[in-house]
Amino acid sequence: MNTTDQHDGTGSTTMPDAPSPVMAAGPEIESRYWRQNLVVCLIGSFTTIVAMTLLLPFLPLYVEQLGVKEHAAIVQWSGVAYGATFFTAALVAPLWGRLADLYGRKLMLIRASLGMAVAMSLIGMATDVWQLVALRLVAGLLGGYASGSTVLVATQTPKARTGWALGTLSSGIMAGNLVGPLIGGGLPPLIGIRQTFWLAGGVIFLTFIATSLFIKEERRPPKIKGTKIEGGWSAIPDKRPIIAMLATGLLLMLANMSIEPIITVYVAQLVSDASKVTIVSGVVMSAAALGSILSASRLGKLADRIGHWNVIIAALAVSALLLIPQAFVTEGWQLIVLRFLMGLALGGLLPCITSVIRHNVPDRVAGGILGYATSSQYAGQVVGPLAGGFIGGHFGMRAVFLATCVLMAFGAAYTWLVRPKNQ
């Protein structure tokens, strides 16, 4: 094993991970432009996520504007329209990842930004709720800029820096999820709902231009004539770490989203003043996101030093412990503090999951495998709210936190058991 210290240019010293069996599977591509690519991907992911999430506060109003009048129908159509994007995105993520492996990661980012700019602008021209749902499906089908950025950054960043780089990118993505609804709450009263969509489409188009001009992708080494190169799962020597990371990504999103449907109802039991329920609920939801934004890059950098598996196991275990007191809080502020601490713990999970996959698969199939990881996370976003709502409705609010705690503890134990001995 090579134990030579590697200097990252910041004055700190990092130790490389133990050699992975995939290193012999083919040459890995590290871009000399990786810092420049990271900046463009960070800004592009932030702006596209903001544009895609700013509709949350006014989506029911837009559904009503499109002709749906009954309250129950407005709620139903709003849920369908919002979830449509995640549904198609989960289906096509592995396909876009595979095409990125074949034709280049930059090309996929160009496709995603242009497709999202067109879809977002067309949503502002919808005249019927069916058109809104169809265009949200198209947005998920053509989009995926943030997941494409993850693939590009993961595969072109030096392996000793992947945790930090992916943590930084993850912070930008989570910041977009946090800022988007805030902007969406303020813009429509000023410029109108349709104009808000058009403005979002224009911002994403600027991302398309920046991606086209400033992202640099190294040329791939030519294939040696007469050699047979395996693709997909067959190219991975040891599939156990990859399966563990797919399960962990699913578990992470399930744990996050299982709480979402019940937060407002749960807060109503803790806050005596009914007028403050929505405010406290909003702060509770934002607290976890804020904690993750603050910790993602730091935990990613820590993982580069002490090992990504160690951070993943610790984050799952700490989150499981923090879920127990959340089931027994008596004041709103207690829940806010605990959700913030849980966000701090979970912030490094996605970067570390991506890093482990990056370290255990050949570069030529990394996009496809990371596409499967994205799909598993989207699946968690779909299953989580359904499971949380069902458990909360049948067994009570506390049962949701305790059931999620058991899942997280199981995930920590499973990850510890399947962890490769040399990582």
Residue 42 has pLDDT above 70, yes or no: yes
Clarify whether residues 121 and 241 are in a common domain: no
Domain assignment present for 227: no
Chain centroid offset of residue 287 CA? 17
Clarify whether residues 252 and 184 are in a common domain: no
Clarify whether residues 170 and 68 are in a common domain: yes
Clarify whether residues 120 and 153 are in a common domain: yes
Number of structural domains, the chain?
A: 2
Identify the CA nearest to 309 among candidates 228, 248, 362, 259: 248
Clarify whether residues 161 and 65 are in a common domain: yes
Clarify whether residues 159 and 259 are in a common domain: no
| Residue 134 or 160, more confident | 134
SS3 6: strand
Strands 6-7 and 13-14: antiparallel
Give residue-wise pLDDT tens across range 339-358: 999 989 988 888 899 888 88
Q: Which of 155, 183, 218 is the last residue of a domain?
A: 218
pTM of the model: 0.73
Instruction: For residue 184, give Cα distances in angstroms to 21, 57, 143, 192.
Output: 47, 6, 20, 11
Q: Which of 218, 245, 271 is the last residue of a domain?
A: 218
Domain assignment present for 18: no
Domain assignment present for 226: no
Clarify whether residues 183 and 244 are in a common domain: no
Q: Where is 14: in which H helix or E strand?
A: strand 13-14
- pLDDT of the residue at 10: 38
Strand partners, 7: 13
**Ordered DSSP codes for 296-313:** HHHHHHHHHHH-HHHHHH
Domain assignment present for 257: yes
**Ordered DSSP codes for 273-301:** -GGGHHHHHHHHHHHHHHHHHHHHHHHHH
Clarify whether residues 139 and 188 are in a common domain: yes
Domain assignment present for 230: no
Taking the C-alpha atoms of 296, 261, 49 and 30 in order, what is their torsion angle to the nearest 10 degrees?
Answer: 40
8 A C-beta contact, residue 105 and residue 217: yes
Residue entry with tokens 């590290």: 30
Residue 153 has pLDDT above 50, yes or no: yes
Any idea what the CATH number is for the domain that residue 172 is in?
A: 1.20.1250.20
Clarify whether residues 185 and 252 are in a common domain: no
DSSP 8-state class, residue 10 = S
Domain assignment present for 78: yes
Clarify whether residues 179 and 327 are in a common domain: no
Instruction: For residue 127, give Cα distances in angstroms to 93, 124, 413.
Output: 29, 9, 51
Q: Which of 184, 218, 252 is the last residue of a domain?
A: 218
Instruction: For residue 353, give Cα distances in angstroms to 229, 244, 330.
Output: 26, 9, 34
**200 is in which domain, residue-wise?**
31-218
9-18, 129-138, 275-284, range with greatest mean pLDDT: 129-138
